[in-house]
Structure 1
Amino acid sequence: MKKIFGFSLIAMIGLLSACEKKLDLSPISLPTTDNFYTQPADFIQGVNAVYNALATYPDRQLNLSETRSDNLYAVSDGGVREWEGINSFHKTIAGNAYVTEAWSGNYTGIFKANLILEQLSGKGASVIADTSLRTRLEAEARYLRAFYYFDLVRWFGRVPVIDKTVSPGEALQIGRSAVNDVYSLIISDLQFAAAKLPEVYTVAADKGRATKYAAKGILALVYMTRSGSTYDINGPGLGLNEWNQALGLLNEIIGSSKYSFGASYANIFSYTNENNPEVIFDVQYNTGSTPVVGATFPWVLVPDAYFQALGKGTQGGLTIRPVSKNLLNSYEAADTRKGFSIQSGYVDNNGVTETRSFFKKYVDITKVPTTSRLDWPINFIVLRFTDVLLLKAECILKGASGTQADVDGIVNQVRNRAGLLPIANVSLARLMEERRKEFAAEGSRWHDLVRSGLVESVMTNWIPVEDVQKVMQPFQKNYLLYPIPQTELDVKPGLYEQNLGY
């Protein structure tokens, strides 16, 4: 991972930051932006700036999906922390930093995508003689714009659709769009990307860019998410029956022979085995650069005292976010994924034994940065081949073409790698439990529960048993969405209505 397409585009990123006004979705371009694009390399840098907005995506999934789910009982024991309101379903989290970042981070990426798309359709036609390059750059930008909007619609439901750069004044007239309208842009962008992106990149420096199969994989997940339960809220599920559309895309990925099922679970996440055949799309980081643009997600769920006990510097995880007893008890004795993903206690520098467990999945203690906690040298896998296989099984269980034997075969392939015996007649609930352990600490659990229709029953049953401190709010379906950030509501009162329940 010793790269990411020039995330060091300082001049461009600085310009974009300077352009942001009021609403995070509406930075306005300056005349100097047009002056920047004078050669093909400038357009490549412009697209690289769109990738840059992925930098906070991993942390967001750990803070908003993993922490919200039944995988963690993240009640703070060291003062009130931002994650406690997320974990405990507090109604007053509209000002929560994690919620605000989810909105602003994604809209920053969307603005950058809109900006480069306009430049490509304008000056790009005369500056970039290579039409295949111009088309590829457009496809990358549209893939990323769809990616950011998909993240937004899963967190907030209805959001403003902005498909061009707008002024602050114009943005103040744009309200939230219907979820189906948000999906229309997402699907259009991903279909274009799937048709125009290359299957692979032959130039080593382009490793990690979005491919045709990355677009097909995210599009399949979009169809599956749209097909999920509506819960009678304006959330990401529309109750559609698009499982076969998703299955077709997943089968294309499987049949491409571009990816394969890793023999070793731990090796998928090895610092020395990045871009392995399991990886379909990941967030890539460039370590050792100035400014620092490495990863921070490895320590998000790890308490600082653990690093200190091992003679390492404080990272930023602060106090412990314990893995829930429910998840710990769900692992079968022989499951090799448990020991790799979870640290079962430690002794701190004061000789005190911490008995609670926490996720350590991304921590290689030999790779702890020595100069900056913001510079971990590891990529974050967004979509991997095992996910595609298990999503296929989910589609079949939801009614897409296939048999129970197909489902059982997929699940048992995954279980075999984990050192477990085969099972039969896998149900949707059992499949979600298998996914829970396979993707623990990868940020998928909350999305899986919502998409599958199981979130109400799972969380309603989990909270009374797990919440020994009696601090969690009773679960209600309005909590499937996060609140619109208070900063956005305050810009122009009445422009956005708050999501129900907050």
Structure 2
Amino acid sequence: MKKSSLFLCIALPLLLVSCSDDLNQVPISAATTSTFYSQPNDFIQAVNAVYSDLRTYPDRQLNLSETRSDNLYAVSDGGVRDWEGINSFQKTIASNPYVTEAWATNFNGIYRANVLLDQLKTNGAIITTAGLRTRLEAEARFLRAFFYFDLVRWFGKVPVIDRPVVASQALTIPRSPLADVYTFIQSDLEFAATNLPDTYAAADRGRATRWAAKTALALVHMTRSGPTYDIEGPGLGLNEWDKALTLLNEIIASGKFSVLPNYSDIFSYTNENNAEVIFDVQYATGLSPVVGSTFAWLLAPDTWFQANGKPVQGGLSIRPVSNDLLKSYEAADIRKAFSIQTGYTFNGVAETQSFFKKYVDLTKVPANRVDWPINFIVYRYTDVLMLKAECILRGKTGGTQADVDAIVNQVRARAKVPAFTNVTFDQLLQERRKEFAAEGLRWHDLVRSGQITTIIPAWIAADDVQKRMLPFQKDYILYPIPQTELDVKPGLYTQNAGY
């Protein structure tokens, strides 16, 4: 992670800690919302603080998407872990810290975005640099939409808050219908897609671009086009695959991105901000307070780090990769060896369970487990191409079966496996599973596909050798509303069904 790139900032709730335009940290003492916005750079610092709430986004995708999906059979070998209730579909996870974090962090980001947007309306005239005010508004609205979309995919209906509110006001705002939440998200992303720049100078690399906004908007259209399952989120059955396809084709036609020839180069610590990256969560190391990545150390057990002469990271046991995923790779597929560690020996004892190691470079292990020097890719170009193939297979014009085959076979050629002909939807879904393993996409793919209610029960029957998992129900597509939110004002929210 280069120090000229956009850094994540740790910011207090009222934006008491700030960063410069490139997010180098410059503390502000005794600042308040009413006095903070006195010069143009204050608005830049404020939007940087909104970005800071992306810091745990990668952890959340591991904890709530990968662990919930058929990619991991997350039964620990070292005592009960918080992820086990997530993995085994327990009904009593409303107080699970991973569930609570998803709600709290996203709404904290929304609050910060709302404060900034409110101040742009009130004091934005301070900003005289051409186009800067509009850009900052577009960044804030992109991030607000990003946080809301994350919430929708986990919880379904959520309260729509479009302005700064104090705690007493928040206690009067109920959850909005899912369609209204999506309308709000779409409005923000459309503004961002129109007003964000194509690219930034090196000092601002990592900020959201119009291509990031178009990717997010395409994914919103695809997600709400998914089936409803007769629950309240995230699918609405709207059949907007054509709208998504138009946006995806615009991203492809931009010529700004390309597929890297080597799979491992996408995730290289020395090749960040490469041609595959459309949007990522950026980190920096060696700063105080610490703003490095926390994602990489969550993947692997301490004994593996120790076996390789590296510092203990967190005392975690293994979250095993499922047998079903392991068996899905063809023998020649190079993605398996890069993404998954299939065994090791520590102190003379052989460990046979497999775990994800994508994003872990043993030559870059930090002394501080929360200071890993690697960005996390949220949207990458291969995903855009494969989402296009998905829209085409949904029967939408703007591409052909030959285009689908070309996309999938480009991905497979890089993985060193033979080409397909007449690629089916099921083959595409399976290819996405292998391509994006450990990147947090699997659960969302299953929900959007309409196949989660068949794939997950079949996987449980085949892989749950310890009989630790409860039967899957469609209600478990959503997570419960955190118990803390239900307790603060009883009756304001109704718990999601199944919990």
Q: Bin the TM-score by the shorter chain.
A: over 0.9
Equivalences for residues 296-307 of structure 1 within 5 A: 296-307=294-305
Determine which of 421, 428, 436 is the counterpart of 2:418: 421
Per-residue CA deviations over 1:255-285 (Å, capped at 9, x if unaligned) read 0000011100000000000000000000001
Per-residue CA deviations over 1:85-130 (Å, capped at 9, x if unaligned) read 00000000000000000000100100000000011111012x1012
Indicate the residue corresponding to 2:33 in structure 1.
33
Offset, 1:287: 1.1
User: Distance in 2 between the 1:8 and 1:282 partners?
Assistant: 15
Offset, 1:427: 1.4
- Check 1:452–1:11 CA distance in 2 against 1; reply closer, same or farther (3 A cut): closer
What is the SS of the residue equivalent to 1:300? Answer: helix
User: Distance in 2 between the 1:40 and 1:6 partners?
Assistant: 19
What is the SS of the residue equivalent to 1:382? Answer: strand
Determine which of 179, 184, 206 is the counterpart of 1:208: 206
Per-residue CA deviations over 1:425-470 (Å, capped at 9, x if unaligned) read 2111111100000000000000000011111110011101100000
Indicate the residue corresponding to 1:343 in structure 2.
341
Offset, 1:499: 0.4
What is the SS of the residue equivalent to 1:363? Answer: coil
Indicate the residue corresponding to 1:81 in structure 2.
81
Offset, 1:13: 6.0
CA contact (8 A) 1:456 1:476 kept: yes
What is the SS of the residue equivalent to 2:55? Answer: helix
User: Distance in 1 between the 2:377 and 2:472 partners?
Assistant: 30
Indicate the residue corresponding to 2:248 in structure 1.
250
Determine which of 258, 264, 269 is the counterpart of 1:260: 258
Indicate the residue corresponding to 1:320 in structure 2.
318
- Check 1:119–1:5 CA distance in 2 against 1; reply closer, same or farther (3 A cut): farther
AA partner of residue 397 (structure 1): L
Q: How many residues align?
A: 486
User: Distance in 1 between the 2:315 and 2:329 partners?
Assistant: 25
Indicate the residue corresponding to 2:72 in structure 1.
72
User: Distance in 2 between the 1:448 and 1:299 partners?
Assistant: 25
The answer to whether structure 1 residue 393 and structure 2 residue 392 are counterparts is no
Superposition TM-score, scaled by structure 1 size: 0.95
Equivalences for residues 107-146 of structure 1 within 5 A: 107-125=107-125, 127-146=126-145
CA contact (8 A) 1:302 1:317 kept: no
Offset, 1:15: 3.8
Equivalences for residues 253-292 of structure 1 within 5 A: 253-292=251-290
User: Distance in 1 between the 2:294 and 2:10 partners?
Assistant: 20
AA partner of residue 273 (structure 1): N
User: Distance in 2 between the 1:123 and 1:129 partners?
Assistant: 11
User: Distance in 2 between the 1:295 and 1:7 partners?
Assistant: 10
Per-residue CA deviations over 1:372-398 (Å, capped at 9, x if unaligned) read 111000000000000000000000111
* Worse-superposed segment, 222-231 or 405-414: 405-414
CA contact (8 A) 1:259 1:280 kept: yes
Indicate the residue corresponding to 1:99 in structure 2.
99
- Check 1:48–1:398 CA distance in 2 against 1; reply closer, same or farther (3 A cut): same
Offset, 1:14: 6.0
Determine which of 461, 470, 490 is the counterpart of 2:467: 470
**Root mean square deviation of aligned Cα:** 1.5
Indicate the residue corresponding to 1:196 in structure 2.
195
Offset, 1:8: 4.1
- Check 1:72–1:212 CA distance in 2 against 1; reply closer, same or farther (3 A cut): same
Per-residue CA deviations over 1:30-70 (Å, capped at 9, x if unaligned) read 99212111111110000000000000000000010000000
CA contact (8 A) 1:114 1:164 kept: yes
AA partner of residue 297 (structure 2): W
User: Distance in 1 between the 2:11 and 2:90 partners?
Assistant: 38
AA partner of residue 386 (structure 1): T
Structure 1 unaligned runs (5+)? 18-29
Offset, 1:78: 1.1
CA contact (8 A) 2:11 2:52 kept: no
Indicate the residue corresponding to 2:22 in structure 1.
none
Equivalences for residues 375-414 of structure 1 within 5 A: 375-401=371-397, 402-414=399-411
Equivalences for residues 4-23 of structure 1 within 5 A: 5=6, 7-8=8-9, 15=16
Identical-pair percentage: 69
Offset, 1:316: 2.0
CA contact (8 A) 1:199 1:212 kept: yes
- Check 1:6–1:285 CA distance in 2 against 1; reply closer, same or farther (3 A cut): closer
User: Distance in 1 between the 2:423 and 2:410 partners?
Assistant: 13
CA contact (8 A) 1:393 1:407 kept: yes
AA partner of residue 295 (structure 2): F
The answer to whether structure 1 residue 441 and structure 2 residue 414 are counterparts is no
Superposition TM-score, scaled by structure 2 size: 0.95
